[in-house]
Structures are given as structure tokens and as C-alpha cells.
Structure 1
Amino acid sequence: MSAAEPIILSRQTQKEINGIATQVVCTQFSNYIFIVITQYGKIGTLVSVTPESKCDDFNTPIFSTKVLLGKDEPLTHVCGKNLGTFVSQQAGRPVLLGLALKDPSVDAITQIKELIKSCQVW
């Protein structure tokens, strides 16, 4: 009998981004990808990023964001959509994000995307 594959695949990494320790944990479940991005050491605000069935004029899927737990602020939706859309497109399933960011700047989000790619489980 060969070594059993884990039922839940998970990878994690950390890096200093703009002077702030940033941890990323990516976990693959059968129906979604769960990603925690934290600069506080906690899960933070939970955001669902879901592809919609309708498309725009250019056949680009439209993604909706919904805050499930935490502060429902416009910046949370912007960060969630920016960080979750590419994962959902590649994985072919919805993404659940845990966001706890001290620095939600464009530069930080770009670096966090690369960190997520290094933890790819899909």
C-alpha cells in the first residue's frame, strides 16, 4: 500500500511585505479554495469570491464578493476581488478569503498575489 494522499491539501508561506510580516495559508477543499492572508496573526474578515453565471460583452466571467464575517467595507471588496479572482479562475471554483491586512496598498496586494501563487494547491 502506498503512502496515502492527504484528504485536505494545504500549503503555507510567509514573507515580509513593505516591512510587515505577512502569512498566507492556502487550503483546497472539494468545492472551494480557502485562503488566509494575515498581517495580524488572525483570520480577519471572511470574504466569499464567487464566479457569476453571466458574462460581460467580452465573455469575461464576472465575480461577486460577499463579506460573510467582519467589517463590510468597500476596500474589503476591492482587496477580496483582486486577490480571489485569479485563484477562482485557475481553480474553477469559488474562493473563501480570510483577510487581515495592515497594508492594503496596490503594491502590497501585488506582492501578496505572488505569495498566494507560491502556495498554490489547485
Structure 2
Amino acid sequence: MNEPSHAHKVPSFPVSSKEFSTVVQGIKTDFILSSYDDYIFVLVTQLGKMGTLLQARKEEGYGAEITFTVSVLLGKHDEPMLRACARQLIERTSDMGSSRPLLLSLGLKDHSRGTLKEIVERVCENKVW
């Protein structure tokens, strides 16, 4: 398992954040995780800039009906693996006790299943919510 090459927690005022870099599937990958009152923001880039911006949220219907929705706000609308990554992250953050929606920016060179799985793991290991 790759450990972040450097990680530091930014003071919690006004927003609790964590920044770190690690190697994912052979590519240096930078992470910024921020916990706002109304959203969790996750930026993951292998390009040094923001990428496709997605929103993911948990929606509770009547009874025990829970659904997760993912929307592409900006960027690649035709990349199902990015949507799958957002869905995995909202499900995991929800399982870890957060009810906030997720705003996710993915600027990736590699959209493979292995890369996206590792990204989800790194985000969950370094949670700020």
C-alpha cells in the first residue's frame, strides 16, 4: 500500500482540510480534501489542475429508501468511470457517518478501475469529515 509521501492537516478554521501527494498506479497524484459545513470537497489531480467536476449526494426517500445520485457539473460527461468513482465515494462517506453531499474534481491521466479504486481508498484513509 502506498503511504502519502507528505501529508499535513491545515488548521480547522474556517475549513478543515488535508493535502497530500502519493503515487497511484505509478503516477504522482495530489489530493486536497476539505470539509465545509454544507459539502465535502475532494480534488484529486495527476495533471496539476482541476479536472471534471462532479456532485454526488445521498437522497433519502420515504421509508428506508436511500438512493445516491451523481451529476457531472463541468467536464467529461461521457466518462462512466469518473461517475463510478464519485458514486463509490458518496457511498463510503455516507457509510462513515457523513450526510453531506460531495463535490469532486478529478483531473486524471489514468481512468482505469485500479486507479479509481485506489483514489477512493486514499480519500477514505485521510477523511476530513
Fold equivalence (TM over 0.5): yes
Please list every run of 5 or more consecutive structure 2 residues that lacks an aligned counterpart in the other structure.
Answer: 1-10
Q: Percent same amino acid among aligned pairs?
A: 32
Confirm or deny that 1:19 pairs with 2:26.
Answer: yes
Report the Cα offset of residue 22 of structure 1: 0.8
Please list every run of 5 or more consecutive structure 1 residues that lacks an aligned counterpart in the other structure.
Answer: none
- What corresponds to 1:87 in structure 2? 93
Q: Which moved more, 1:36-45 or 1:107-116?
A: 107-116
Write out aligned runs for 1:1-122 (5 A). Answer: 5-54=12-61, 59=64, 61-75=66-80, 76-90=82-96, 91-122=98-129
Report the Cα offset of residue 13 of structure 1: 1.2
After superposition, the Cα gap between the structure-2 partners of 1:109 and 1:54, relative to the gap in structure 1 and judged at 3 Å, is same
Provide, for residues 25-60 of structure 1, a one-character-per-residue CA deviation record: whole Å limited to 9, x for no partner.
10000011000011111111110001122389xx46
Kept in 2, the 8 Å contact 1:55–1:62? The answer is no
Report the Cα offset of residue 97 of structure 1: 0.2
Larger relative contact order (CA 8 Å, sep ≥ 6): 1
Q: Which amino acid aligns with 1:30?
A: D
Report the Cα offset of residue 64 of structure 1: 0.4
After superposition, the Cα gap between the structure-2 partners of 1:15 and 1:68, relative to the gap in structure 1 and judged at 3 Å, is same
Computed over aligned residues only, the root mean square deviation of the Cα atoms, in angstroms, reads 2.1
Report the Cα offset of residue 17 of structure 1: 1.1
Kept in 2, the 8 Å contact 1:14–1:22? The answer is yes
Report the Cα offset of residue 5 of structure 1: 4.9
- In the superposition, the TM-score normalised over structure 1's length comes to 0.83
